[in-house]
Chain A
Amino acid sequence: MGFLDISHVSKAYGSVQVLHEVDISVEEGEFIVLVGPSGCGKSTLMNMIAGLEPITTGDISIRGRLMNGVHPSKRNIAMVFQSYALYPNMTVAQNMTFGLEMHGVPKAERDRLLADVARLLQIDHLLERKPGHLSGGQRQRVAMGRALVRNPDVFLFDEPLSNLDAKLRVDMRTEIKKLHQKLGTTIVYVTHDQIEALTLSTRIAVMNKGYIQQLGTPKEIYDTPANLFVATFMGSPAMNILPATIKVRDGVAFAEIADAQGRLQSLQFSQKNLASWDGKEILLGIRPEAITDIDGADRKSQNIQRFSNVVTVIEPAGSDTFVTMTVSGRDVVARMRADASVAARDRFEFAVNMDKAVVFDPKTEARIPG
């Protein structure tokens, strides 16, 4: 029994099923991120936690109290909306204390809580302004402040950063993480941005088409994605997925892939349990940073395989250089050190860290566990 329990929750609009049997148990103080493409059901799930949408089947409980059918204001939750949803006719102070006022908190107490939160978020000087006179970042802070003064059991963030420009988004992301570390509150956070998910969360629920594809720590999600969807959705640039044939020689499995000229080369797997796949097609998943030049290869890796191929394009990105090549008919991206000496159209010797390689069953698209 967790702090926030979502058990067997489904949602249907008429005959359209938008969420299927979702199970998440959140511990107190966790930062859970629901991530997925638009239409995956993540916002619907959040609205059901908030009580803004009825639950079709299943139970949601907070602190062991069943929340089905409980009014949003009686769940002791607070929500930060994508558009901030600040009341345009009220000042910042009124915006932040409106909820307290509605809950009958006396004026003196309200002012004290307001002052505390305003100091914490450094918005003391904005309290008498109207939302229309604030910048995007300030509005964001006020929206968080409005949630904080309530001191709720669970914070719900619905894509709170997606209306900010790129620079501010990164700053506020750090801000939110700091806030979570300082206050230790339980947060459920919805986003479609996988970077936000990886940086902020203690655990991630990757969702697609109304199903939870994988629930795990950022490291689990990134290193051992449960299926092809999670593998390609999380990480930027996306994980390289290429068809390969498994060859077993002397009990050791190799992946046979073709370089740009169609020459077959073998990469030895670190994974041991692939003997039964001898001669079969699989999908090989390799993160861009697991393909490097020889000198840049991860020194801790037990299994660096060499692979020679013709370079198609080089994209220097300041800190890294992205190198594109063709493998088994697909474009593959390698992420190298900025000073790696690579030239386009040359043949180059790549180092592939097979400790980080994952294998997918092409039929079920699920990862073959190692």
Chain B
Amino acid sequence: MSVASQDTAVKTGSIAKVFIYLILVLFALFYLLPLYVMLTNSLKPLSEITGGDMMSLPKAWTIEAWLSAWSTAQVGVSPTGLRPYFINSILMVVPAVAISTVLGALNGYILTKWRFRGDTLLFGLMLFACFIPFQIVLIPMARILGILGIAGSTQGLVLVHVVYGIGFSTLYFRNYYASFPTELVRAAMIDGAGFFRIFWRIMLPVSGPIAVVTIIWQFTNIWNDFLFGASFAGLSAMPMTVALNNLVNSSTGVREYNVHFAGAIMAALPTLLVYIVAGRFFVRGLMAGSVKG
């Protein structure tokens, strides 16, 4: 394929090529600029920043700001650093992603392979979850969390994110399973596999690509969520995003910009990590060869 397309492609002149790459490199640098600023300034002592030079490399390299942001900085009223909130976020995001992905996979399986009267309508209604703005559900959700007795807790946040996430994860899995040959399910039925056995042994093993997409999507959204975290988490369950905001807005003493930069990078790291790790498993063509000759 690549050979053919190289042969048949219109030849681009070398001057044009240099020009194209120059522009691309410039754009890349431009987009990397904020990261550069954040990284360099998080590794400087505060005096170098307040001295007014944001763009230069640190004269004295130090990880003091990172240590402070992690364990001693003033967040809201207590000098705990971001660590407890980072743990809160992990405790919220892992179950929320896992549960919404599994439920989405089950929903997609049922909506495509165990069709029933009104399934399309039901699916349409579930899609509303993708379109309803967060703000609309704040008050009813607060009421429900109150009734369930999990207001202000991590479990409460997990519930909120699962409920909101099912719409998306169902959409992804349903559309993926729609192209999964129903004959495979029928063959498994004749072979004697039941509802969950078919799901576990036949459907899930080929769901890798869509599971990765769903996990990346859910993880990013839930980790980065601020509104639900700010609205429903008590002090003890506060997630990273809210804590970062409190760190930056704490009004005692001088503004430690280097600590703020370090905290912001910390808050962004897990999503980056998920992209790098999960992206590698994003392999296509798992379905190749199941059917047809």
Query: Which residues does A use to contact B, with CB under 8 Å?
Result: 50-52, 71-74, 77-79, 81-89, 98-99, 102-103, 130-137, 139-140, 146, 163-164
- Are B181's CB and A85's CB within 8 A? yes
Contacts of B188 in A (CB 8 A): 87, 98
- Chosen A-B contacts, 18 in total, with CB atoms closer than 8 Å, are A51-B190, A73-B191, A79-B186, A81-B183, A82-B183, A83-B181, A86-B290, A86-B291, A87-B290, A88-B289, A98-B188, A98-B191, A99-B190, A103-B192, A131-B290, A132-B288, A132-B289, A163-B292
How close is B159's CB to chain A, nearest CB, in angstroms? 33
Cα A246 to Cα B205 in complex, Å, equals 69
Whether, in the assembled complex, B286 has its beta carbon less than 8 Å from a beta carbon of chain A, the answer is yes
Task: Given contact pairs A50-B186, A73-B189, A98-B193, enumerate 13 new A-B contacts (beta carbons under 8 Å).
Answer: A52-B186, A73-B190, A73-B193, A81-B186, A87-B201, A88-B286, A89-B206, A131-B289, A132-B288, A132-B289, A132-B290, A163-B292, A164-B293
Residues from chain B with a CB closer than 8 A to the CB of A164 are 293
Q: Is the CB of B190 within 8 A of A136?
A: no
CB <8 Å contact, B189 and A72: yes
Interface of B is mostly: helix
CB of A52 to closest CB in B, whole Å: 5
Contacts of B184 in A (CB 8 A): 85, 87
With both beta carbons as reference points, the residue of chain A lying nearest to B293 in the complex is identified as A136
The number of chain B residues with a CB under 8 A from chain A is: 24
Interface string of B182-209 (1 = CB under 8 A from A): 0110111111110001000110011000
Contacts A79-B187, A82-B183; A89 near B293 (Cβ below 8 A): no
**Does any Cβ of A come within 8 Å of B29's Cβ?**
no
Is B37 in the interface zone, CB < 8 Å from A? no
- Within 8 Å by CB of B288, from A88, A137, A140, lies A88
Instruction: Give the residues in chain A near B187, CB-CB below 8 Å.
Output: 79, 81, 85, 87, 146
Asked if B202 and A79 make an inter-chain contact with CB atoms under 8 angstroms apart, the answer reads no
Q: B25 at the A/B interface (Cβ < 8 Å)? A: no
For window 243-293 of chain B, which residues contact chain A by CB distance below 8 Å?
286-293
| Nearest-Cβ distance from residue B129 to partner chain A, whole angstroms | 30
Rounded to whole Å, the gap between the CB of A61 and the closest CB of chain B is 18
Q: Which residues of B contact A83 (CB under 8 A)?
A: 181, 183, 291-292
Partner of B293, one of A51, A72, A140: A140
A136 contacts across to B, CB distance below 8 A: 292-293
Kindly identify which residue among B190, B201, B289 contacts A79, using a CB–CB cutoff of 8 Å. Answer: B190
Question: What is the bound-complex CA distance between A74 and B191, given in angstroms?
Answer: 9
Shortest Cβ distance from B208 into A: residue: A89
Residue of B nearest to A135 (CB): B293
What are the residues of chain A within 8 A of B290 when measuring CB–CB?
85-88, 131-132
